[in-house]
Structure 1
């Protein structure tokens, strides 16, 4: 059973600031970027360890995967005061190093390429709000369809 997404979000934010040597005022870790990093962390953790990093779901919104709990509390996330398992820490560090250097806009566009996201948006216009849950089964299928070596071609760095 995974941890609560808000604990992971707090740990991710704190680790992100530490890795890039930033203060909260200097940080480019916007809410949109946080959602995308959490989405990719969820997939990476499952791919490496066969279990979900957290139990919470994402919905297919206009700008990519969004978690409602993170959406409601992003501005008020407390510092992380727990301990991460070695697996959780590995996942968060991998996501920060592999994805954290890119802009929120680039990560948004990257998430839009995901089949799981596209399925959650079926029947909706590009600018039409959506709230359909992104299926974890579809996320698993994405893991086996994507070629991770081409994800970062022609990208903009933060």
Structure 2
């Protein structure tokens, strides 16, 4: 199984330089959609309901204190991704890659996995939280997104 840094390195290779926040959110969307499409985790690391949206603390540790990230600055192995994982990430990048970090963060603040985790933690808008987003909540939400996009295509 790939690790979050493998996914992050792949995303940076595909899209080029971006903010750390945008990278976090793209990893989140890749994880959620992959979970719904493939019914398996993209990587074992978890997302937490931080004040600015979902954050994977293991990825955060790799870029802490950095605003902008360049390809090659997150040490991961994009070759660790299997074909299904790369396909999921590529679809997410095609759908979400043009959004800014701020837009992606705002989107996550309206979505149930982050909202529910913040509610479980009992925290206000800008309070710290390390409450994890659950795979069940993420699967339910992203599967409903996928179903809605499929319904609209018919």
Whether TM-score is above 0.5 comes out as yes
3-state SS of the aligned residue for 1:125?
Answer: coil
Q: Identify which range, 101-110 or 42-51, moves more after superposition.
A: 42-51
Q: What's the CA shift for 1:84?
A: 3.0
Whole-Å separation in 2 of the counterparts to 1:81 and 1:58: 20
Output aligned runs, 1:104-143, within 5 Å.
104-122=101-119, 123-143=122-142
Pick 1 or 2: higher relative contact order, CA cutoff 8 A, min separation 6. Answer: 2
Whole-Å separation in 1 of the counterparts to 2:125 and 2:114: 12
Matching residue of 1:71? 60
Q: Does the 8 A contact of 1:14 with 1:80 survive in 2?
A: no
Whole-Å separation in 1 of the counterparts to 2:3 and 2:81: 12
Structure 1: give runs of 5+ residues left out of the alignment.
18-26, 150-158
Whole-Å separation in 1 of the counterparts to 2:85 and 2:92: 11
The structure with the greater share of residues assigned to helix is 2
What TM-score, normalized to structure 2? Answer: 0.82
Structure 2: give runs of 5+ residues left out of the alignment.
67-72
2:97 aligns with one of 92, 95, 100: 100
For residues 39 and 4 of structure 1, do their structure 2 counterparts lie closer, same or farther at Cα, with a shift above 3 Å needed?
same
Count of residue pairs brought into register by the alignment: 138
Whole-Å separation in 2 of the counterparts to 1:3 and 1:80: 8
1:52 aligns with one of 41, 62, 70: 41
What TM-score, normalized to structure 1? Answer: 0.80
3-state SS of the aligned residue for 1:65?
Answer: strand
For residues 148 and 117 of structure 1, do their structure 2 counterparts lie closer, same or farther at Cα, with a shift above 3 Å needed?
farther
Matching residue of 2:9? 10
Whole-Å separation in 2 of the counterparts to 1:4 and 1:99: 21
